[in-house]
Amino acid sequence: MIYKEFTIENFKGVDKVNVSLDKDELVLLLGLNESGKTTILKGIETFDYLNDLSKDYDNNFFRTIRKKSDVSSDTPAMITALIGLEEILEIKDYQGIFERGLLNKNKKDNVEAFFHFLNNEKKVKIQRVIPFKGGNPKQYYYQFISDHPFAEDQFSRILAKEMVHRCPFIIYFEDFKDRIPEKIFTSKTNDAFNVDWYDIIDGLFYNTDKEFSVANFKKLYSRSNRRERDAKTVLKRVNKTLNTSFSEKWKELSGVKDIEETELTYNIPKSYFEISITDTDGTTYAVDERSKGALWYLSFLMKTEFRRKKLRVNSGKPIFLIDEPASNLHSTAQQNMISDFKKLVEDTSVVYSTHSQYLISLDNIKTTYIIERNKGVVKSTLWSDYIKEDKSNETYYQPLANVLKIIPNSLTIPWNKAIITEGPSDRKVLSTMYKILFPEQIPDFVIYPGTSAQNLETLISFNLAWSADFRVMLDSDKEGKRAKEKYLKNFDLGEELVILLPIDNKKIEGYFNEDEKKELYKISFGKEKEERVNKKEFSSMFSILNSHPEKLDVASKAIGEETIFRFKGLFSALEITQN
């Protein structure tokens, strides 16, 4: 099963918000502090009852999720998940609910008929309902949202909850509250006992061997039957699991490249674990001595990989909800983190929130939601809809700066060469082709995408004011030629500053033949394309290529000599030089 979409209703300040996970890309919730980003992430987390804690905690938490303005609310909070079915639902996999007496066996035929219906639909919609009475939370339940008659049967709620138990896990990661403690105590009576991190270490033991646990490990040190050698063997195996996971999935990420090894040690007299980190130069550090970036990744690894209660074997693609990731790191580290997230989404879904301009992924801009709060109500708008409402004409990405209230200053003005393009698609193609043609070169230019050929005045004005070395690149069609005449006249520019594509009456997608487009489509999406590649698909495949360096070498072999010659001519016309 795989989560496709969440709908959150009547949850704190949210009336109704949708978040789609239908594409294998990063999903970004972008907005200022207190705009409601965390509320949406917590709403998604709340869908899964296995994320609930103690009953007392749940009651207190559930009270906080009703509308604050309605102290006597009878309106339920609802979180609905659209779940794709990648495998056939079979009654034999749900035998337990009949054997445990949760569902009467005479309901088997009803369940089988319902499964047959869902298997044809290849999806199921399940809603968690948290009712309120006079402002107090009542017993929650799950229900199917379906036209099938069984969905109206009160016993279907039991099946709905059982199905949620088999769904991919959802893990919420809060940056500043999820740091690794210096000492992870194992005794619940200790004032410094941290139940979350105890659970993570317990999960690490469990991942090593299902018979392993922290409790059983401690018994190996009991006075009545002390087995220190066995304890050391267990701990060695646990550390092997930790470092294997670390090496296989995480070591290539930018934030952990200096880490050679991590080690879990146990203090016997005081009953606590410690984690140490060894760098590539052989130096060993305690966790509090390492950089914030390295600790962030190690903490993230351990929470997402080893939380025992979250384990669901073969449950499908998990979701990581990352709230304001490492916004306390410097700008370069934040930008590197975007690339790391792109690697993670190969086998997970990642939804993250930020108010930092450095954590915005322009290649995945179409999966960005703008989050705003107006009069206490949280509003979520998908980027493609948001830019239709925004009246900014400076650049295609200017609304992002407007959302975050970013004011350019002398430290952010790009004094390098600037290329102004008609739109984001041209930017992606230029950037990708530069990487393919000159893989060893670091670009000495930036690319600003506008909103259309006729709407580049503000960008040109900015670059003139900055005394930047810039070029404007336009299609060589009628629209581009008219735009060139306008800019030359209005700004008294030299001919060399406004460049039409060298081949007459061409758009940049016309630089590639149909066979090349289909091959690049296959490399990007992993599947064949029989009909022509349309404009939207063309833009999407260059987004993928631009953000996946490992695909570029393969893509370079799919591009013919004529196309390479054309782009070299274009870069020459734009006076983009190579070092």
Q: What would the DSSP string read from start to end of 89-100?
A: --GGGGHHHHHT
Which of 283, 311, 339 delimits the end of a domain? 311
Q: Is the dihedral of CA 299, 301, 302, 308 positive or negative?
A: positive
- The reply to whether 290 falls in a domain is yes
- Same domain for 274 and 205: yes
* 151 plus 200 within the same structural domain: no
**Does any domain span residue 1?**
no
DSSP sequence for 47-116? TSGGG---HHHHHHHHHHHS-TT-TT--PPEEEEEEEE--S---GGGGHHHHHTTSS-GGGHHHHHHHHH
Has residue 9 been placed in a domain? no
Cβ pair 427, 439 in contact under 8 A: no
Write out the two tokens for 87.
């495998």
pLDDT of residue 22: 74
Q: How far is the C-alpha of 1 from the C-alpha of 122, rounded, in Å?
A: 10
Is the domain of 146 the same as that of 251? no
| 446: in domain | yes
Domain match, 428 and 548 both = yes
The pLDDT of residue 411: 46
Residue 449 CA, chain-centre distance (Å), reads 24
- Among 166, 189, 216, where does a domain finish? 166
Same domain, residue pair 537 and 426 = yes
Q: Is residue 61 part of a domain?
A: yes
Which of 311, 335, 362 is the endpoint of a domain? 311
Provide Rg for the chain, Cα atoms.
27
- How is residue 366 annotated by DSSP? G
Q: Domain check: are 437 and 487 in the same one?
A: yes
Instruction: Based on the fold, state whether residues 439 and 524 are members of the same structural domain.
Output: yes
Alpha carbon distances (Å) from 391 to 294, 395, 400: 41, 11, 12
Domain count, the chain: 3
Range of the domain at 100: 51-166
Residue with tokens 């066996």: 105
Looking at the structure, do residues 455 and 484 belong to the same domain, yes or no? yes
- Whether 493 maps to a domain, the answer reads yes
pTM: 0.69
Question: Residue 409 has what pLDDT?
Answer: 47
Q: 113 Cβ partners below 8 Å, 6+ apart?
A: 148, 150
Is residue 563 domain-shared with residue 473, that is, in the same domain? yes
Name the residue with tokens 């309120």: 132
Could you give the residue ranges of the DSSP H alpha helices within 134-187? 156-165
Query: Does residue 373 lie in a domain region?
Result: no
CA distance linking residue 195 with residue 203, whole number of Å: 12
Write the CB contacts of 284 (distance below 8 Å, at least 6 apart in sequence). Answer: 276, 277, 278
Would you say 175 and 323 are in contact if contact means Cβ atoms under 8 Å apart?
yes
Judge if 123 and 202 occupy the same domain. Answer: no
Cα distance between residue 481 and residue 499, in whole Å? 10
**Which stretches within 394-477 are classed as H helix?**
398-404, 424-437, 457-465
Residues 153 and 188 in one domain: no
Task: Answer whether residue 532 is part of any domain.
Answer: yes
Query: Do 193 and 138 belong together in one domain?
Result: no
172 close to 51: Cβ distance less than 8 angstroms: yes
Per-residue pLDDT of the chain (579 residues; tens, 9 = 90+): 889 999 999 888 888 899 988 766 688 888 887 788 888 999 999 998 888 866 555 567 777 787 766 777 788 889 999 998 888 888 888 777 776 766 677 777 888 888 899 989 999 999 999 898 887 888 889 999 998 888 888 788 888 888 888 888 888 887 655 578 888 898 888 888 888 788 888 888 888 888 888 989 998 888 888 898 999 999 999 999 888 877 666 666 655 666 777 888 999 989 999 888 887 777 777 766 666 666 777 777 777 777 655 666 556 778 888 888 766 666 666 777 777 777 777 677 888 888 877 777 777 777 888 888 887 788 888 877 777 665 555 555 556 666 665 545 444 555 568 888 988 888 889 888 988 888 888 777 888 888 788 888 878 887 786 677 888 999 988 899 999 999 998 888 888 889 888 877 788 888 898 999 999 989 888 888 888 888 888 888 888 887 777 788 888 888 999 999 989 888 888 887 554
